[in-house]
Copies of this chain bind each other. A is one copy, B any other.
């Protein structure tokens, strides 16, 4: 990986990145700082309102986990090159665009402690600005040597939409077993993380075996990540999440703790859960969470996330030992331990 060509110490982008980067990603902090500069340049060169929207989204922080997956995957599996940074910035644009549309879908008010684009601007701006960002990015990839990445990203986005639509359609009272939940969660979050690893490996010229291992890693890591996200939506602290909790109950997304208790609880427990879910008023959320905690739903979901994270780690066995492989391994712990102890 080439060294940064501009001084980073004075860059506010770097300061905020360093603050947010999980410890296991410090290895690639200079790369992430460069990705950050590319993202800021993307924002600066967009048309006026989109520039503001992208800056707003980037300024909200975020861990840049997906760019990190591109860079670490490339470095752990092949020959690092400048183009990894371009691809890392590209996946973050896709992620930002999907978050903007997701916030419309969920009618979310707050993200990362700041008003969502639909609140700060409008639903109209959210729909169009994200479409603009995707069109601009894909156009660049199509015109440059980015056809492979483009195909991979499009497949991931299609799976994300598919998973989200399926999840929405089922609703809180719908029929959703564990396997289908895992498949939905894998589509919603595993698909893009897997795409990041795939693109990183491909860009660095990895062997097919290593590329496939990294794809599996990303898929499982993303599944674990989303299961934990779903747990934190119930049990997290709004201040550290940067958004209100129990969103999934408001938007009708059935998640693993509920699925588990619904399947294993006594008839009385099941009836109580049903009753609480039916009137998903804010005051009921705390009671739902208490019930799920008491009946082992939260612990069960944590264990499931751990299982997927372990599978992710195992997939890395295909790669030669390296600091980057180690960082990817550490990421599996980071992902499942989020919210377990005070930050």
A contact set with B: CB distance below 8 Å? 47, 49-50, 98, 101, 104-105, 123-125, 127-129, 131-132, 134-136, 138-139, 142-143, 147, 150-151, 154-155, 157-158, 161-162, 164-166, 168-169
Contacts and interface: CB of A to CB of B under 8 A. Distances in A.
A104 B131 CA distance: 13
Most chain B CB within a 10 A radius of its CB, from A50, A98, A136, A154: A154
Contacts of A136: 154, 158
A127 B103 CA distance: 11
Contact of A47 (B123, B125, B162): B162
Given A47-B162, A138-B150, A101 B143 contact: no
Q: Which 9 A-B pairs have the closest CB atoms?
A: A139-B154, A132-B161, A135-B157, A135-B158, A142-B151, A142-B150, A105-B124, A128-B161, A135-B154
Contacts of A138: 138, 150, 154
Nearest to A137: B154
Q: How many copies does the complex hold?
A: 2
Q: DSSP majority for the A interface?
A: helix
B168 A129 contact: no
Contact of A49 (B127, B129, B165): B165
A50 B155 CA distance: 15
Nearest to A169: B49
A131 B161 contact: yes
